[in-house]
A and B are shown apart, each in its own frame.
Chain A
Amino acid sequence: MPPPTRRLQVNSLARVEGEGALRIVIENGVLERAELRIYEPPRFFEAFLRGRQHSEVSDITSRICGICPVAYQTSAWLAIEDVCGVVVDERIQALRRLLYCGEWISSHALHIYLLHIPDFLGYEDAISLAKDHRAIVERGLRLKRAGNAILEQIGGRAIHPVNTRIGGFHRAPLASELIPLAEQLRGALDDALATLTLAAGFDFPDLELEHDMLAVHHADQYAIEGGEEVRSVAGAGFGAADFLSHVVEHQVPHSTALHATLDDHRYLTGPLARYTLNSAQLSPLARDAAAGAGLGPTCSNPFRSILVRAVETIYATEEALRLISEYQRPDRPSVEVPPHEGVGHGVSEAPRGLLYHRYQLNSAGLLQSATIIPPTSQNQPAIEDDLLRVARNNLHLDDESLALLCERVIRNYDPCISCSTHFLDLTIDRR
C-alpha cells in the first residue's frame, strides 16, 4: 500500500513537444494537487511582431512551432487578409488545404507512432518498439514521410515552408509535378487504414470528459484550414472576430503558458472536439473506418484520441488525393494584399487544436499588436482536470505506475508545449 502522503514529480516529461513537468501532491490519502507545469521559456513573439510588415509576419509566426508551422502560417494569413479585405481565389484555397493536409498527416503520424503508441504497447520509445515490431514503426515513418512530401512539394520545405505567403504562394506547382505525390499518397492511405486497425485493438482506460469542446466549423467540409464559425458542444457559435469575447486567458503561477476559458468554463480543442462536432462531414471511407474501430459519431475519452487521430489521418490522406485529382493550377500563384489599417482575426485547426490569431495593422501594413492563442494553452486546464480525476481514481497505484498513468494522460493531448508559452492576450485578467 503506498504511503498516504506523497509527492510525485516528473521533472521532464518525455515524448511531448517542448518542456513540461508533472506534479502531484497527495496529503493523508487525499489528492491535493495535480499540475502540468510548463517551464518552456517564453520567447515573446507578440512583443517583437510589433512593427513588422504584414508580408513578413507568417515567416515569423511559423517559427513559433516546428511541429505545426503551417497552422501558424495559415492563421496569420487569414487574420492579415481579414484586415486587408482580401479573399484568395478558390484554387489557392484548395492548395492551402492540400498543404495543411500534409501537416496533419505528418504531425498525426509523428504523435501516433513515435510518441503515443509506445504507451499502449509498453515501450519506452519507438526505437525499442522497432526492435520487436519493426514493421509497425516503418509504417509510421512511411506515413510521416508522405505528409512531409506534401509539405515539401507544395510548401518548399517540411519545417517552416518557404513557398507560402499572404495572398497565396510564390509558385504554384504544375499538375504533372503532383503525379508522383499522388502515387505516394495512395500507399499512405493503406498505411493510414492499417494504423486505425492496429490502434482499434488497444486497451483504453475508462475516462469520459465532462468539459465543453470547441472547434472550427466549415459549412461544406471537415474544417482544417479555416471555416466560418467556431462552435462548441454546449451550443456556442461565433465568428473568429468574436473569439476574444468568449475566450479569455489567465496567467497561473506554475506555467509560462496562459490558461484559457470559454464563456467562463473549461473546454477542450483538438481531435476529440473536431470529431465530436464535425464527424458527419468526414468522408464515407473515414466514417466507415471509424465505425469499424468502435467509434460512434462523438468521442470524449481522451485515451481514445489515438483512434480519432488515425481517422483524421485517413481523411487527410484521402482529401489530399482528392485535391490533387481536382487540381487546377491557379492563374496567378498569389493575389495582392495591399496594406490596410484595422484589426483582423484568423482561426484554423492545428493538428492539436484550434489556433487563433488577431492582428492590428496601421495604414502602411505595419503590425501594431498581436494576440495568438495556441491550442495547448486552451487545453491545459482540461488536461489538469483529467490528471486530477485519473490520479484520484488511482491512488492505490505505486508512485511509478501512477506517474506513468499521469504521463499518459498528458500525452493523450499531444501537447505542443513549445508553442504554448509565447502568447499573450492583451485582454487578460489583471486581478
Chain B
Amino acid sequence: MSSSPPTLAVWKFASCDGCQLTLLDCEDELLTLAGEVQIAHFLEASRNVLPGPYDVSLVEGSVTTPDDLTRIHYVREQSRTLITIGACATAGGIQALRNFGDIHDFTSVVYASPQYIDTLATSTPISDHVNVDFELRGCPIDKSQLLEVISAFLVGRKPDIPDTSVCTECKRRGLTCVMVADGVPCLGPVTHAGCGALCPAVGRGCYGCFGPMTGANIPAMSRQLTYLGMPDAAVGRIFSTFNVTAFTERGAGDAPTD
C-alpha cells in the first residue's frame, strides 16, 4: 500500500441496511476509524465517492437481481480485499426462502404488475459469484467483530473470529444452560459464535441468527429439538430463517415454502 491511508468501500445488495448501520453504530470508534482509513465509497454515509480500486470492501446483502450479477463482479474487480458482512451476504438472508418456493407466486403476492419487477428466482450469497476473502456472520453482525475484521485486514493479519458455537460464549459468561436447566429449545450448540450469547442471557433459546458453525451436527440438533417436544414443522421453521440456505446445506430438513 502507498503512504496515503488505505481506502474503505461499503456496498449494498438485497438487505435491511442493518449490517452497514453497524459501522455507523461504532459511535466510539467511528471518528478514529475515519482517521485511519479513507472512506472512499459509502453511500449511506457520504455523497463523496472516490474512484476505485479500493483496499478493503465490505459487502452487505445478497444477489437477487440480474443487475446484481454484473455489479458483484465489478465490486470484486475494484476490491483488493472483499469482506462479506451479515447473513444476507454470507448465506442469502431470509429472502433466500424464495429459493424453496415459486418466485412467480412470490412476486404476484406482493405486486399487482409483476412485469415491472426485475428479480431472480433465487437469493444467493456473494461467495456463490465471486471469490470472498472473509465472511463475517450474523443477522446483524456484531460491532466488535466488525472492528476486529477491519483492523486485522488493515494491518494484514488474520482476524480473530473463533469458529466455535454459541455454547462456548454462554459458558464463558457463566450463564445457566437454558436447554439443560429449563428445557428451552436452543440452537446454541450448532450456531456460530459472535453475538456473545445474547439470547440465553435473557432466558431465551438461541435462534441461529449467526448461522451454523463449521462442523455443526444439524441432524443431532434436530433430534434434540424433537426430544424437547418441538413438532417437526416447528423444527423445520426454526432452521428456516436468516441463514436458511446454510442450515439446509448442513442437513436441516426442507424449508417450508408456504
User: In angstroms, how far is the closest chain B Cβ from the Cβ of A330?
Assistant: 14
In the complex, the answer to whether A41 meets B64 with C-beta atoms within 8 Å is yes
Q: How far is the CA of A12 from the CA of B123 in the complex (A)?
A: 22
Q: How far is the CA of A360 from the CA of B248 in the complex (A)?
A: 28
In the complex, the answer to whether B209 meets A160 with C-beta atoms within 8 Å is yes
Answer whether residue B43 sits at the interface, using C-beta atoms and an 8 A cutoff.
yes
Q: Which one of B17, B68, B113, B195 contacts A18 once the chains associate, using CB atoms below 8 Å?
A: B17
Q: Which one of B19, B123, B241 contacts A60 once the chains associate, using CB atoms below 8 Å?
A: B241
In the complex, the answer to whether A17 meets B112 with C-beta atoms within 8 Å is no
Asked whether A66 and B109 contact (CB < 8 A) given A15-B44, A170-B202, the answer is: no
A-B contact count (CB 8 A): 188
Within 8 A of B (CB), among A142-157: 142, 144-145, 148, 156-157
Q: How far is the CA of A419 from the CA of B21 in the complex (A)?
A: 14
B residues less than 8 Å from A418 (CB atoms) = 15-17
Q: How far is the CA of A114 from the CA of B23 in the complex (A)?
A: 12
Q: How many residues does chain B have at the interface if contact means C-beta atoms less than 8 Å apart?
A: 64
Question: Taking CB as reference atom, which chain B residue is nearest A165?
Answer: B204
Q: How far is the CA of A160 from the CA of B201 in the complex (A)?
A: 16
Within 8 A of A (CB), among B84-137: 93-95, 97-98, 101, 105-107, 109-113, 116-117, 119, 123
A residues less than 8 Å from B46 (CB atoms) = 14-15, 124-125, 127-128
In the complex, the answer to whether A156 meets B199 with C-beta atoms within 8 Å is yes
A residues less than 8 Å from B201 (CB atoms) = 156
Asked whether A162 and B109 contact (CB < 8 A) given A52-B237, A63-B94, the answer is: no
Q: Which one of B18, B64, B258 contacts A160 once the chains associate, using CB atoms below 8 Å?
A: B18
Q: Which of B24-32, B75-83, B216-224 contacts A (4 or more CB under 8 A)?
A: B24-32
**Which of B15, B16, B30, B43 has the most C-beta atoms of chain A within 10 angstroms of its own C-beta?**
B16
Answer whether residue B45 sits at the interface, using C-beta atoms and an 8 A cutoff.
yes
User: In angstroms, how far is the closest chain B Cβ from the Cβ of A138?
Assistant: 7
Q: How far is the CA of A429 from the CA of B22 in the complex (A)?
A: 38
Asked whether A43 and B14 contact (CB < 8 A) given A52-B237, A163-B202, the answer is: yes
In the complex, the answer to whether A127 meets B34 with C-beta atoms within 8 Å is yes
Question: Taking CB as reference atom, which chain A residue is nearest B209?
Answer: A160
Q: Which one of A51, A169, A419 contacts B16 once the chains associate, using CB atoms below 8 Å?
A: A419
User: In angstroms, how far is the closest chain A Cβ from the Cβ of B83?
Assistant: 18
In the complex, the answer to whether A59 meets B241 with C-beta atoms within 8 Å is yes
Q: How far is the CA of A293 from the CA of B245 in the complex (A)?
A: 52
In the complex, the answer to whether B234 meets A53 with C-beta atoms within 8 Å is yes
In the complex, the answer to whether A162 meets B30 with C-beta atoms within 8 Å is no
Answer whether residue A424 sits at the interface, using C-beta atoms and an 8 A cutoff.
yes
Answer whether residue A50 sits at the interface, using C-beta atoms and an 8 A cutoff.
yes
Q: Which one of A43, A60, A145 contacts B27 once the chains associate, using CB atoms below 8 Å?
A: A145
**Complex A-B: 5 CB contacts under 8 Å:** A12-B43, A43-B14, A44-B110, A127-B31, A128-B48
The 8 residue pairs across chains A and B that have the minimum distance between CB atoms? A66-B18, A125-B46, A124-B48, A47-B106, A424-B110, A171-B202, A48-B97, A141-B27
Where the two chains meet, the residues of A that have a C-beta atom closer than 8 Å to any C-beta of B are: 12-19, 40-44, 46-48, 50-53, 56, 59-60, 63-67, 69, 110, 114-115, 118, 124-128, 130, 134, 137-138, 141-142, 144-145, 148, 156-160, 162-163, 169-171, 251, 253, 256, 258, 407, 416, 418-419, 422-424, 428-430
